[in-house]
A and B are shown apart, each in its own frame.
Chain A
Amino acid sequence: MSGGAATAGPVAAPPQPAPPGFWSRHRVTLAFLAPAAVLLGVWIVYPTINTIVRSFFDRTGSEFIGLDNYRELFTRDVLVTAIKNNILWLAIVPALVTAIGLVFAVLLERVRWSVAFKVVVFMPMAVSLFAAGVIWRVMYEKDPETGAVNASLGAVVDAVDPPGALSEAQPSTEDLTGTPRRGLVLRRPVRPGDVALLGLTGIPPQDVSEGAEQARAPPGAAGAIAGVVWRDFTPGGGERGAIDEGELGLPDVTVELRDSGGGTVATTETGADGGFAFDEVEAGAHRVAIGPKTFEEPFEGVSWLGASLITPAIMLAYIWVWAGFAMVVIGAGLAAIPRDLLEAARTDGATERQVFRRVTVPLLRPVLVVVFVTMLINVLKVFDIVLSVAPASSQDEANVIALAMWRTAFGGVNDFGLGSAIAVFLFLLVVPLLLLNIRNFRREV
């Protein structure tokens, strides 16, 4: 705005008798260039030089310390983690984004509704990386009740390996010993013809399945061991260890019959009234146990935002954002490939796979390189999404170069010398990639 006012003056002035000399001859040009020169000079050129110089000084800027800041960069734990993480990012993300973009672009060539798909996949590009981080932080909530990722995962896990009927049950009397993890065993040995009473307590009412009926001890039968598993608890009364009126049997509980050595000989499940029976049992003492399967916890959720998985979790969110970019750029390159080249290959008898690998991909190479290098640069500068996905507690593990730079300079440490050194390091990594990209971009696209 102020730039506009500044240029209006000299240009609108009435032409004077042209005096010789450089300044007056190029007055108009200078007026057109001055606002840009001020902005670029003060905000980019000066700071760049200043940051480079500053990186050789200590944190307050008073003492010249040579390369000490750069040495620190490769020795301080937090910074080494940041560099290691960034190397992981460089190794994984650009390749994946390019590959996904390529696959999407190629698949889209064959359907009519490609525009709708492109809009959907490209949409995250419009959103800030910070907001994308918030989106995924909500997705990654640990509790499967609220976190969508863990809810979907839990649905699969619980389908493959269903949780036990009673994850929180405790024995109601000391007749039952053992731990839920290894199974609860009846202390008293049982023989064929006996009836085993296995009382459990500590079961929330909602954990008792809806089909449960009044518990009932089955009659003993010759050659069989029978018994009942029930909820041995009556609010405000009832006798421990005895089946009272109103106490429900526990269905679907795994009961194991173990021999004297502790090995399991047979397993069965309880019925609606909690009753079970093992028929044709060999004579002798046996033990009855409630199997550990009964007490298995349901899926508790993977801790995506915890220290160990945080970097892959952020990478996934980042790929979600950038895949659309790769798809659109590669799609544009794909559209530019002459159709007759592909047709010729097909006519010569090449399969679709061969056409893809031998014709399409080599012709797309320049575009793929531009996308890949662009992603290398983006990944080097990744910052916003790390701060918005990673909770404060996992930020040390999620650290990357740009975040380390910010935290060193502004996040409490306020070491401007080391912060400058990290910025210069980032600059040195980005420059060759960008030069490469500008060259490729101008030549090929």
Chain B
Amino acid sequence: MAATATRALAKAPLHLLLAFIGVLWLVPTLGLFLTSLLAPDQIGSTGWWKVFTEPSLAAFENYGTVLDNEALTSALGTTAVVAVFGTAIPIFVGALAGYAFAWLEFPGRDWLFLLVVGLLVVPLQMALIPMFSLYNTFGLFDTALALILFHSAFGLPFAIFLLRNFFVGIPKDLLESARIDGASELRIFVRLILPLGLPAIASLAIFQFLWTWNDFLVALTFGRDTQVITVAIFSEFRQFGANLELIAPAAFISLAVPLVLFFAFQRYFVEGLLAGSVK
């Protein structure tokens, strides 16, 4: 008993240190949130920490202003559309290709797969200038589709890599018996492979969704009036101080979505990220 107490006491500095670091890590995000609650006439002159001593300073007024701001609400809509399709397409297309690389026989299969994995090394900066020209030529510039297809393509090498490796682990007997029963490859893919691949698909989906939702560079390059939330906030930057009453709540809304996902799917999130550290 005494020994336990002594040990606990000896660990007290460690607990304190870690608690301090934890608070330190929380403060910036909390600061943005509390700033977003300050009234417009307070936001440039009052520190957000004053809310602790004067809770009456906090109000949700600014969030109403953001929701009334058409540029910001339509940007949130665009972001959602781009993120949903920019996740669904590469996963579906990647699963098709991953299945082919895992279970269909064709000449040059391994070389082709290696080439696809090799595309992982291409930074998206390499595609910005040619795609800017191409999008302009085909009238795709400044559309959500342009963003969706760009994200789909750059999400694909990793999706194929991950799903192919996962599909290879599916027991061969399952596939053989389905083929003997006369099921078409498409049927096998839809009824067997996709359901069995769900754990890998879930990790991938969360990772890719966050990637597209959080994107700034691609949307900044290929959009002018079609803005995602990061770009819409960025266009308020011209007067950062004066527009903080819009910037702070909008930024907090934009980061609340990934945060909710993060808390809901922590396990998949970490797994996807561990696997994704090669990306």
- The chain A residues found within 8 Å of chain B, CB to CB, are 1, 3-4, 7-8, 11-12, 26, 28-29, 32-33, 35-36, 39-40, 42-48, 50-51, 54, 104, 107-108, 110-111, 116-117, 119-131, 134-139, 145-148, 151, 320, 323, 325, 328-329, 332, 370-371, 374, 381, 383-384, 387-388, 391-392, 402, 405-406, 409-410, 416, 419-420, 422-424, 426-427, 430-431, 434-435, 437-438, 441, 445
16 contacts across the A-B interface (CB closer than 8 A): A8-B186, A40-B119, A43-B150, A43-B153, A50-B129, A108-B18, A111-B14, A123-B262, A128-B255, A129-B214, A131-B251, A146-B47, A388-B237, A409-B129, A420-B129, A427-B122
Whether A124 lies near B29 (C-beta < 8 A) is yes
- Bound together, the chains give a CA A392 to CA B100 distance in angstroms of 49
Q: Give me 15 other A-B pairs in contact (C-beta within 8 A), A28-B104, A123-B262 excluded.
A: A11-B184, A35-B93, A40-B157, A43-B154, A47-B127, A51-B130, A111-B11, A123-B259, A126-B210, A128-B214, A137-B240, A320-B25, A391-B240, A406-B220, A434-B121
Q: Say yes or no: A121-B25 contact (C-beta < 8 A), given A32-B104, A47-B131, A332-B274.
A: yes
Residues of chain A within 8 A (CB-CB) of B274 are 328-329, 332, 445
Mask, B140-159, CB within 8 Å of A = 1, is: 00000000011011101100
Whether A130 lies near B121 (C-beta < 8 A) is no
Whether B126 lies near A128 (C-beta < 8 A) is no
Top 7 nearest A-B pairs by Cβ distance?
A43-B153, A128-B214, A47-B127, A126-B262, A36-B97, A47-B130, A32-B100
Whether B126 lies near A111 (C-beta < 8 A) is no
Indicate the member of B47, B132, B154, B261 with the most A CB atoms within 10 Å: B47
Q: Which of B45, B96, B262, B270 contacts A35 (CB 8 A)?
A: B96
> Does any Cβ of A come within 8 Å of B55's Cβ?
no
Whether B154 lies near A119 (C-beta < 8 A) is no
Residues of chain B within 8 A (CB-CB) of A1 are 85, 88-89, 92
Q: Which of B31, B220, B278 contacts A135 (CB 8 A)?
A: B31
- Bound together, the chains give a CA A125 to CA B255 distance in angstroms of 11
Whether A3 lies near B96 (C-beta < 8 A) is yes
Whether B129 lies near A438 (C-beta < 8 A) is no
- Bound together, the chains give a CA A300 to CA B36 distance in angstroms of 24
Whether A11 lies near B185 (C-beta < 8 A) is yes
Of all chain B residues, the one with the shortest Cβ separation from A42 is B153
Of all chain A residues, the one with the shortest Cβ separation from B233 is A134
> Does any Cβ of A come within 8 Å of B78's Cβ?
no
Q: Closest approach, in angstroms, between the C-beta of A2 and any C-beta of chain B? A: 9
> Does any Cβ of A come within 8 Å of B166's Cβ?
no
Q: Closest approach, in angstroms, between the C-beta of B2 and any C-beta of chain A? A: 20
Residues of chain B within 8 A (CB-CB) of A124 are 25, 29
Of all chain B residues, the one with the shortest Cβ separation from A46 is B130
Q: Which of B21, B106, B130, B233 contacts A29 (CB 8 A)?
A: B106
- Bound together, the chains give a CA A45 to CA B115 distance in angstroms of 10
- Bound together, the chains give a CA A257 to CA B46 distance in angstroms of 41
> Does any Cβ of A come within 8 Å of B269's Cβ?
yes
- Bound together, the chains give a CA A272 to CA B123 distance in angstroms of 69
> Does any Cβ of A come within 8 Å of B81's Cβ?
no
> Does any Cβ of A come within 8 Å of B26's Cβ?
yes
Residues of chain A within 8 A (CB-CB) of B127 are 43-44, 47-48, 51
Whether B28 lies near A135 (C-beta < 8 A) is yes
Whether A134 lies near B262 (C-beta < 8 A) is no
Residues of chain A within 8 A (CB-CB) of B122 are 44, 48, 427
> Does any Cβ of A come within 8 Å of B195's Cβ?
no
Whether B255 lies near A131 (C-beta < 8 A) is yes
Residues of chain B within 8 A (CB-CB) of A12 are 184, 186
> Does any Cβ of A come within 8 Å of B63's Cβ?
no
- Bound together, the chains give a CA A374 to CA B130 distance in angstroms of 27
Mask, B87-122, CB within 8 Å of A = 1, is: 011101110110110001010000000001101111
> Does any Cβ of A come within 8 Å of B160's Cβ?
yes
Q: Say yes or no: A121-B160 contact (C-beta < 8 A), given A3-B96, A138-B32.
A: no
> Does any Cβ of A come within 8 Å of B74's Cβ?
no
- Bound together, the chains give a CA A319 to CA B117 distance in angstroms of 29
Residues of chain A within 8 A (CB-CB) of B180 are none
Whether A11 lies near B186 (C-beta < 8 A) is yes
Residues of chain B within 8 A (CB-CB) of A111 are 11, 14-15, 18
Residues of chain B within 8 A (CB-CB) of A320 are 25, 28
Of all chain A residues, the one with the shortest Cβ separation from B161 is A438
- Bound together, the chains give a CA A145 to CA B35 distance in angstroms of 13
Of all chain A residues, the one with the shortest Cβ separation from B153 is A43
Whether A430 lies near B96 (C-beta < 8 A) is no
Q: Closest approach, in angstroms, between the C-beta of B231 and any C-beta of chain A? A: 9
Of all chain B residues, the one with the shortest Cβ separation from A48 is B126
Whether B99 lies near A441 (C-beta < 8 A) is no
Of all chain B residues, the one with the shortest Cβ separation from A410 is B221
Residues of chain B within 8 A (CB-CB) of A3 are 89, 92-93, 96
Of all chain A residues, the one with the shortest Cβ separation from B214 is A128
> Does any Cβ of A come within 8 Å of B244's Cβ?
yes
Q: Which of B15, B21, B247, B269 contacts A134 (CB 8 A)?
A: B247
Residues of chain A within 8 A (CB-CB) of B251 are 131, 134-135
Q: Say yes or no: A130-B22 contact (C-beta < 8 A), given A110-B14, A119-B266.
A: no
Whether A128 lies near B254 (C-beta < 8 A) is yes
Task: Give B258-277 interface residues, CB cut-off 8 Å to A.
Answer: 258-259, 261-263, 266, 269-270, 273-274, 277
Of all chain B residues, the one with the shortest Cβ separation from A435 is B121
- Bound together, the chains give a CA A147 to CA B129 distance in angstroms of 38
Q: Closest approach, in angstroms, between the C-beta of B18 and any C-beta of chain A? A: 6
Task: Give B40-71 interface residues, CB cut-off 8 Å to A.
Answer: 44-49
Indicate the member of B88, B128, B149, B258 with the most A CB atoms within 10 Å: B128
> Does any Cβ of A come within 8 Å of B230's Cβ?
yes
Q: Which of A127, A329, A434 contacts B258 (CB 8 A)?
A: A127
> Does any Cβ of A come within 8 Å of B125's Cβ?
yes
